[in-house]
Amino acid sequence: MRALAAGLVLPVLAFAHEPITTKITWSREVVRVVYPRCAGCHSDNSPVPLMTYEQARPWAKAIKDEVLNRRMPPWGAVKGYGEFKSDPSLTQEQIGLIAQWVEGGAPEGDPKLTPPRPPPGKTKPISGVRIPLPGKLDHAISLVAIEPLAEAADVRVFAVLPDGHVEALIRLYNYKAAWKRSFEYVRPVALPKGTRIEYDPGPIPITVIATRSPGG
C-alpha cells in the first residue's frame, strides 16, 4: 500500500463518535492481514504507517477504498500470467473482512490479542543466468524470475518455443520502477533449447534470471 497517501488528504479525526456495529476488530482479525500484506511498505517510517491501530485508524476509509478497488497492496503482475512468490494481493475474503471492519466503525478490540510485529523483510538475491531481452536460450533452462528495471506502464513478456508456440510468462500493468521488485515463480517454468524470450512493447530494459534445468 505504498501509494496510499498519493492524492489523499489526511483524514479528519472524527471517528470517535462512530457507532460500532461489527465484531471484527483490528487486534484480532485486521492486523493479521495488514502485517503480512502491508508492513513491507507501511512501516513506522513510511508516509502512511499502518503498524498500530492508532496509525491505521485515521486511514480506515481510505484503506477500504483502496483494497475494494484492488489498488492496494500494489503488485504490478496481472493475474493469470504466472504464479509468483511474495504476491501480496488480498483474497476476496480478506477484502471483505477489511470492508466490514471499516463499515462497522473500525474498532480496535483487545490490544492484548495483537500479534508480534513482523521482522523487517530481507530480499534474497536470485542466482542464475541473466538473459537480456529480447534473448535466445542457448540451452534448456527453467525461468525463475523476471526483474523489471524501468518504468513500465503495461508490458508483456512471453516465450516463443522452437515449434512456434507462444507461452505467456508475465504481464506487468502500471508497474513502478520505485518498487524495485522482482517476480520469482512458485515453480520454475521449463523452456526447451532454442526458445526466444521477447516482450512487447519495447524497448524496456527487463532481465530474465534463469537456472539451468536438470540435464540441460
Q: What is the pLDDT along the chain (216 residues), one digit of tens a residue?
A: 544 544 344 454 445 567 899 999 999 999 999 999 998 889 888 889 999 999 999 999 999 999 999 888 888 888 888 888 888 889 999 999 999 999 999 999 999 999 999 887 666 667 777 877 778 887 778 877 888 777 777 888 899 999 999 999 999 888 887 777 788 888 888 888 889 888 887 666 677 888 765 544
| Among candidate residues 47, 82, 113, the one where a domain is terminated | 113
Same domain (yes/no): 85, 179 = no
User: Is the residue at 119 inside a domain?
Assistant: no
91 belongs to a structural domain: yes
Give the range of the structural domain holding residue 170, as residue numbers without chain letter.
Answer: 129-212
Q: Are strands 129-132 and 206-212 parallel, antiparallel or unpaired?
A: antiparallel
Report strand pairing: 196-200 vs 183-191: unpaired
59 located within any domain: yes
**Is residue 79 assigned to a domain?**
yes
Structural domain tally of the chain? 2
CB 150 within 8 A of CB 177: yes
pTM (whole model) above 0.75: no
Q: Are 35 and 117 in contact (CB under 8 A)?
A: yes
Whether residue 122 lies inside any domain: the answer is no
Q: How far apart are the C-alpha atoms of 96 and 78, rounded to whole Å?
A: 21
Whether 121 is in a domain gets the answer no
